[in-house]
Structure 1
Amino acid sequence: MISAAGSCAADGGVAGPADEVIDLYNRRAADWDADRSRSLFERPWLDRFLIHVPPQGQVLDLGCGSGEPVARYLIEQGRTITGVDAAPGLVDLCIQRFPGHDWIIADMRGLDLGRSFDGLIAWHSVFHLDPEAQRGMFDVYARHLKPGGVLMFTSGTEEGAVIGEWRGEPLYHGSLSVSAYRAGLKAVGFEVLAQVENDPDCGGANVWLALRTGGRMGE
């Protein structure tokens, strides 16, 4: 199933570096898919995530890419996936591979699907947003997770932005500080279960695992 929502620029204004990432991944979806490792070195973290997702539970995958290998693994473990990506070329690959699941072309910034999930994963996706947009993602996480729902995402560790390179083209990455991620999660009612920096067993990823325990502080 496919649906569309949102626009490339979150605020409808002039596109910035994060919007250029969307264009890059859309134009070169086949190249990205070819380069994406299928070794599933992420499996230990995915299994930790799934401990908190009921059998046959509903998972929102933000920045789902081509669905390989993360969404595939979650599907094989019996979960139903709603995948969101702003690059139509990548969403097309998801539809071809997993037609029984819900694939949405949308910008994750300011996303509001009007429903909540048992789990939410944003694996190597949110770190393509600029720091200000990442601050807005805490509300996105909270509105899409049921109480007791589990969140897992990857991030940088220091606030700022860097422009890397992939296949000869610039590729933007942004980050908040570790303390800002912790504060942002706490403010919308998340308890951090685990946070590992530069995990050597997961390709050097900085991984967060958190449970939604309530609403915003003071609510």
Structure 2
Amino acid sequence: MPERIAEHYERHAHAFDHARRKRFAERAWLDRFLLGVARGAPVLDLGCGAGEPIARYLHDHGHPITGVDGSEAMIALCRTRFPRERWIAGDMRRVALDGMFGGILAWDSLFHLPADDQLDLIGRLAPHLSPRGALLFNTGPARGTAMGCQFGEELYHASADPAEYRAVLARTGLFEVAYKPEDSATGGRSVWLVRKPH
């Protein structure tokens, strides 16, 4: 299924980019996220799309960006817009991570993975988050799968149960700052903001 997700976004990269530039529903959450990211600290953006609007917002706030996306076409757009940043075309579950990040986010991307893969990935990301750094991602409100629709095609989404995410956070030394299930301000996404302690 994640492979089909990458193919979907590859086919519709320009249409997605055009639509994405018209909305920024996650801005308030990004502002909260950035409160936990040290000034000038690098940020890892998993499922970065074509860089609009999130990468631009991070860039404008002075954060070096490493962006990962499964669509080569999306990454090509990122490289055109922000040539000095680091862009990686690949599966976020398999990309080799090096160094530490003041912030890590996976907005509208983590939930395209099977639930168990999401939990594994959060565990793998935790050691790459700097002390006092922030992690922002969204999920569904309960364990299960759902098929959405985008550009006339079905689009796979999955979620673990909130208790399962909390167990991973506890195991990896991260703590929950905020969790808002089915946040109406973001179109019904369930949003998590977590931090690493000192």
TM-score, scaled relative to structure 1: 0.86
Of residues 112, 118, 124 in structure 1, which corresponds to 2:102?
118
Q: CA deviation at 1:139?
A: 2.0
**Is 2:10 the counterpart of 1:26?**
yes
1:155 alignment counterpart:
139
**Is 2:71 the counterpart of 1:87?**
yes
Of 34-43 and 161-170, deviating more is 34-43
Q: CA deviation at 1:120?
A: 0.3
- CA distance in 1 between partners of 2:111 and 2:140 (Å): 7
Alignment map for 1:62-101 (pairs within 5 Å): 62-101=46-85
2:153 alignment counterpart:
169
1:5 alignment counterpart:
none
- CA distance in 1 between partners of 2:143 and 2:104 (Å): 23
Of residues 38, 43, 46 in structure 1, which corresponds to 2:30?
46
Greater helix content: 2
1:205 alignment counterpart:
189
Q: CA deviation at 1:22?
A: 0.6
Q: CA deviation at 1:193?
A: 0.5
**Is 2:173 the counterpart of 1:189?**
yes
Letter in 2 for 1:25: Y
Instruction: List, as ranges, runs of 4+ consecutive aligned residues in structure 1 with deviation greater than 4 Å.
Output: none
Q: Deviations along 1:130-149, whole A, 9 cap, x unmatched? A: 11211211222213211221
**Is 2:151 the counterpart of 1:178?**
no
2:43 alignment counterpart:
59
Q: Deviations along 1:57-105, whole A, 9 cap, x unmatched? A: 1100001001110111111111111101111111011011111111111
Of residues 139, 154, 160 in structure 1, which corresponds to 2:123?
139
Letter in 2 for 1:68: E
Of residues 20, 26, 40 in structure 2, which corresponds to 1:36?
20
Q: Percent identity?
A: 41
Instruction: Describe the shift of the 1:58–1:87 C-alpha distance in structure 2 as closer, same or farther (beyond 3 A).
Output: same
Name the SS for the 1:31 alignment partner.
helix
- CA distance in 2 between partners of 1:105 and 1:201 (Å): 30
- Answer whether contact 2:141 2:182 (CA < 8 A) is retained: no
Q: CA deviation at 1:206?
A: 1.1
| Unaligned residue ranges in structure 1 (runs of 5+) | 1-16, 215-219
- Answer whether contact 1:122 1:153 (CA < 8 A) is retained: yes
Q: Deviations along 1:98-157, whole A, 9 cap, x unmatched? A: 111111112111433121100001101000001121121122221321122110001111
1:6 alignment counterpart:
none
Letter in 1 for 2:197: T
Letter in 1 for 2:136: M
Q: CA deviation at 1:37?
A: 4.6
Letter in 1 for 2:180: V
CA RMSD of aligned residues (A): 1.4
